[in-house]
Amino acid sequence: MSGGELLGDPALKITGAASLAEAVPGEITFFSDPRYGPLLRKTRAAAVFVPLNFSDNISAAQIRVANPSKAFEQVVFKFAPGPISFAPGIHPSAIVDPTAKLGARVSIQPYVVIEAGVSIGDATVIGAGTYVGHETSIGASCTIYPRVSIRERSRIGSRVIIHSGVVIGADGFGFEFVENRHKKIPQLGIVQIDDDVEIGANTTIDRARFGRTWIKEGVKIDNLVQVAHNVVIGKNSVVAAQTGISGSTRVGEHVQMGGQVGIVGHVTIADKTLIGAQSGVSKDIGGGVWFGYPAMPMPEAKRQIAWIRRLGKLFARVKEIEKKLGL
């Protein structure tokens, strides 16, 4: 299956798969990163997928492959239980407006609400307790997990995965201060989510003030992310957990954001930019690796971190000099 070279007993029986640290006798694991060498030497696994150039002497059987991680993944699939599937049809407890258009093999689970004017493509699954608002369109082969809220006129492409607790199309956070109080600005736009997007649990994507908040093809968004009104996220970008993207920000293609990144409104993030975890973006940034608060190019951020770490020693030296000078 893996196409690898076995160094060990071909009759060895493998009963499961686990990580280096968690594997027990009879299980298989993998090793691909030298940083995990100590774990490899301690592992109790019966067999290990290792790189082609691996030369260490270990007690476990070795299977030398070009990509240990990928080979291990194939084995895990063999041991994993089959995927959960849902039969097509509408559960009796679901409420589906007569004007809704459902494609072939659509599955509507218990207590779903489908409002007027909704269209849902072939083979899409709408999980229990989900709400789909008026005039929303959802493409084919989507998986909408339980308790998702999709507000009116949202547009969702095909093969989109939306995890539990996601809210799509809530009003953007728009107010103006009039006569000594905050007055709500109507949020009249929509959310558009293109094909092959995945959105993690409890993420929120606000509708646009006008126009659209747009998540483009292939974007992957982690849990607990806030995407504000009129944000555009470019194709194949990745956004990690607890990131907040303020209104009208433009994120390029193939951008990667670490966890807890914060981005102010009305800025542009260039294609292929990498933003380190907990960074704060306060201006347009033009590619490369950025880190810190405020975010800066990584070499500059490393210099500043090094300077800060040396401040204690510097203060001690200054005090010693002042003491010698009688100051």
User: Which residues are tagged catalytic?
Assistant: 229
Q: Are 169 and 208 in contact (CB under 8 A)?
A: no
Closest alpha carbon to 127 in 140, 105, 109, 101? 109
The total of other beta-carbon atoms located within 10 Å of residue 284's CB is: 12
Q: Which helix (H) or strand (E) is 161 found in, with range?
A: strand 161-162
The span from the CA of 208 to the CA of 249, in Å, is: 12
Close Cβ partners of 73 (under 8 Å, ≥ 6 residues apart): none
The span from the CA of 294 to the CA of 278, in Å, is: 10
DSSP assignment of 236-301, as one string?
T-EE-TT-EE-TT-EE-TT-EE-TT-EE-SS-EE-TTEEE-TT-EE-S-B-SEEEETTTTEEHHHH
Q: Is 223 left (phi over 0), alpha (psi -120 to 50) or beta?
A: beta
The total of other beta-carbon atoms located within 10 Å of residue 119's CB is: 16
Q: Are 289 and 297 in contact (CB under 8 A)?
A: yes
Amino acid at position 178, single letter: V
Q: Are 188 and 169 in contact (CB under 8 A)?
A: no
DSSP state of 309: H
